[in-house]
């Protein structure tokens, strides 16, 4: 398998220092703020990111050099666009970090004010396209009007900006998951078959099925409600080119409406168990992850997918991703240890159980993403995997099973009083 070139631009080790000589008004405004200072991180062509900036009071102290505020992932076309003069209606593209005091947004219907402290700008240069690790900036730098106008020392921002190659494997389902499609690897215009995907909804496990120990125990009691029966027992098997089963996903908990509602609710989510072959014995399997999904109501309905990494004997597992996907338009499910993790959930450390595949412990950063379409729309999931988490084809198969479960969850979480919009899902 040949990876595609990607570059990771990370911004971290943020801190703000206000010299004694800075204006009293600025120092008073920062210290009286009821929340940390904020910064807006903008790279042209990418969504605006926000992060908190801790105030550093000691002149000798420096922020954690390993902390990451945000990361941008650039494929070759993105780098070329940034390096093209005038592509974004400006002579040059920049990474821009603007620091503010005060809260962002509104509270109790009252808009809050934020005071500009200063701005850091880093011009995109040709070295961005060389595909090498490069430290673009590391340390303190003056920002604000005082420093720019040659006056008294103003506020100083500490940050670390680094470029790293981050190659990825890119896969796509050739058709809807429920139609048992082939899965191909994309490399430019070349499509190379890698896996096949077999979908079924037979709740009665065959004795010849190597996953039957999991499958039969997951069916639960018989439910005579036909509408609820529709979303039980879905199963996906991933096979390699030789026909061997290399990963699986099945509904461990049925997708049923919560009492008084017509939808799968957070209080009673449906769940998939993701399995991989057990290296200790033939035709034996071990759990790898548990994907829970439910429907959130709001301004726009969303499907929430939450992934736990599990192992034999574990029930809860470690939460590594919790993502909202627009129910109508679709969106992206991802595992990225540099991006926000669920509230109160620690990200896996190299010593934790956060080993995403048999390759060993996670080292942070991007792991995978999966782009799916909304309910009732023909979806052909597109999956990207970090090369460092894949040492063999079987490692990639686990994420294909996960992607299939995410895609099918979009349909499994649709309101129960609403009929499917496309004929292919009447058979689910």
267 Cβ neighbours under 8 A, 6+ residues apart: 258
**Closest C-alpha to 1, from 289, 338, 383:** 383
Set out the domains of the chain in order of their start, with CATH numbers.
6-164 (2.60.40.150), 168-425 (no CATH)
Dump pLDDT digits (tens) for 250-284.
Answer: 999 999 998 877 889 999 999 999 999 887 766 78
Dump pLDDT digits (tens) for 85-98.
Answer: 887 777 889 999 99
What does the pLDDT read at residue 425?
A: 47
Whether residue 356 is predicted with pLDDT greater than 90 in this model: the reply is no
Burial class for 228, CB neighbours closer than 10 Å (0-12, 13-18, 19+): middle
What does the pLDDT read at residue 22?
A: 60
CA dihedral 133, 139, 140, 141 (to 10 degrees): -30
Measured from the Cβ of residue 230, the count of other Cβ atoms closer than 10 Å reads 21
Determine contact, residues 386/3, Cβ cutoff 8 Å.
no
Strand order in the sheet with 6-17: 68-75, 6-17, 156-165, 134-142
Determine contact, residues 327/297, Cβ cutoff 8 Å.
no
Query: What element of type H or E holds 81?
Result: helix 76-83
Query: What element of type H or E holds 69?
Result: strand 68-75
* Residue-averaged pLDDT of the chain: 81
Strand partners, 357: 360
What CA–CA distance (Å, rounded) separates 96 from 202? 54
Strand 331-336 to strand 366-372: parallel, antiparallel, or no bridges (unpaired)? antiparallel
Give the pair of three-digit tokens for residue 17.
Answer: 């220092």
Read off the pTM.
0.80
**Residue reference for tokens 């033939």:** 282
Give 34 or 372, the one with higher predicted confidence.
Answer: 372
Strand partners, 193: 184
Give 224 or 100, the one with higher predicted confidence.
Answer: 100
What does the pLDDT read at residue 278?
A: 82
What does the pLDDT read at residue 419?
A: 56
What does the pLDDT read at residue 188?
A: 82
What does the pLDDT read at residue 29?
A: 53
**Residue reference for tokens 């057990």:** 278
Mean pLDDT over residues 207-218, rounded?
47
> Of the ranges 129-143, 147-161, 231-245, 255-269, which one carries the lowest mean pLDDT score?
147-161
Strand 49-53 to strand 37-43: parallel, antiparallel, or no bridges (unpaired)? antiparallel
Measured from the Cβ of residue 64, the count of other Cβ atoms closer than 10 Å reads 12
Dump pLDDT digits (tens) for 393-424.
Answer: 999 999 999 999 999 999 999 988 755 554 44
* Ordered alpha helix ranges (H), 166-315: 212-217, 226-229
What CA–CA distance (Å, rounded) separates 152 from 370? 50
Whether residue 220 is predicted with pLDDT greater than 50 in this model: the reply is no
Percent above pLDDT 90 for the chain? 54
Whether residue 375 is predicted with pLDDT greater than 80 in this model: the reply is yes
Determine contact, residues 117/148, Cβ cutoff 8 Å.
no
Determine contact, residues 317/309, Cβ cutoff 8 Å.
yes
Dump pLDDT digits (tens) for 166-199.
Answer: 999 999 999 999 999 999 999 888 999 999 999 9
What does the pLDDT read at residue 151?
A: 60
What does the pLDDT read at residue 209?
A: 52
Question: DSSP code of 347?
Answer: P
Give the pair of three-digit tokens for residue 320.
Answer: 């590594």
Strand 235-240 to strand 182-187: parallel, antiparallel, or no bridges (unpaired)? unpaired
Whether residue 31 is predicted with pLDDT greater than 50 in this model: the reply is yes
Dump pLDDT digits (tens) for 70-121.
Answer: 999 999 899 999 999 887 777 889 999 999 986 545 444 444 567 899 999 9
**Closest C-alpha to 73, from 4, 15, 137, 125:** 4
φ, ψ dihedrals at 215, nearest 5°:
-65, -50
* DSSP assignment of 280-313: TSTT-EEEEEEEEEEEE-SSS-EEEEEEEE--TT
Confidence of residue 145 (pLDDT cuts 50, 70, 90): low
**Closest C-alpha to 26, from 146, 142, 127:** 146
What does the pLDDT read at residue 115?
A: 86
**Residue reference for tokens 């009732």:** 376
């Amino acid at each position: 398998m040949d990876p595609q070139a990607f570059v990771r631009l990370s911004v971290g080790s943020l801190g703000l220092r206000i010299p004694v000589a800075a204006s009293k008004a600025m120092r008073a405004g920062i210290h009286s703020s009821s929340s940390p200072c904020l910064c807006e991180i903008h790279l042209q062509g990418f969504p605006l990111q926000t992060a908190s900036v801790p105030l550093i009071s000691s002149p000798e102290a420096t922020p954690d050099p390993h902390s990451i505020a945000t990361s941008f992932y650039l494929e070759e076309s993105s780098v070329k666009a940034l390096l093209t003069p005038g592509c974004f209606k400006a002579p040059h593209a920049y990474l821009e970090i603007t620091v503010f005091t005060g809260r962002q947004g509104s509270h109790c219907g009252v808009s809050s004010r934020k005071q500009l402290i200063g701005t850091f700008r880093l011009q995109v240069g040709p070295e961005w396209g060389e595909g090498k690790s490069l430290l673009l900036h590391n340390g303190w730098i003056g920002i604000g009007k005082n420093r720019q106008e040659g006056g008294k020392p103003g506020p100083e921002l500490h940050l670390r900006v680094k470029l790293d190659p981050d190659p990825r494997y890119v896969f796509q389902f050739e058709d809807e998951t429920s139609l048992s499609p082939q899965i191909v690897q994309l490399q430019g215009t070349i499509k190379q078959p890698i896996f096949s995907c077999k979908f079924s909804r037979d709740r009665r496990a065959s004795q010849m099925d190597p996953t039957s120990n999991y499958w039969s125990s997951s069916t639960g009691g018989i439910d005579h409600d036909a509408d609820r029966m529709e979303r039980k027992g879905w199963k996906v098997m991933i096979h390699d080119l030789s026909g061997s089963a290399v990963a699986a996903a099945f509904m461990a908990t049925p997708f049923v409406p919560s009492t008084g509602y017509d939808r799968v609710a957070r209080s009673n989510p449906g769940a998939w168990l993701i399995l991989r072959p057990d290296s200790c014995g033939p035709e034996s399997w071990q759990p790898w992850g548990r994907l829970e999904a439910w429907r959130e109501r709001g301004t726009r309905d969303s499907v929430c997918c939450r992934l736990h990494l599990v192992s034999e004997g574990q029930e809860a597992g470690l939460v590594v991703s919790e993502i909202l996907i627009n129910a109508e338009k679709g969106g992206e499910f991802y595992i990225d240890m540099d991006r926000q993790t669920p509230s109160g959930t620690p990200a896996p450390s190299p010593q934790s159980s956060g080993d995403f595949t048999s390759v060993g412990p996670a080292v942070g950063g991007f792991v995978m993403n999966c782009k799916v379409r909304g309910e009732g729309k023909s979806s052909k999931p597109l999956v990207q995997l970090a090369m460092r988490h894949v040492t063999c084809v079987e490692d990639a198969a686990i994420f294909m099973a996960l992607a299939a479960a995410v895609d099918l969850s979009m349909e499994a979480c649709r309101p129960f009083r609403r009929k499917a919009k496309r004929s292919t899902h009447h058979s689910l």
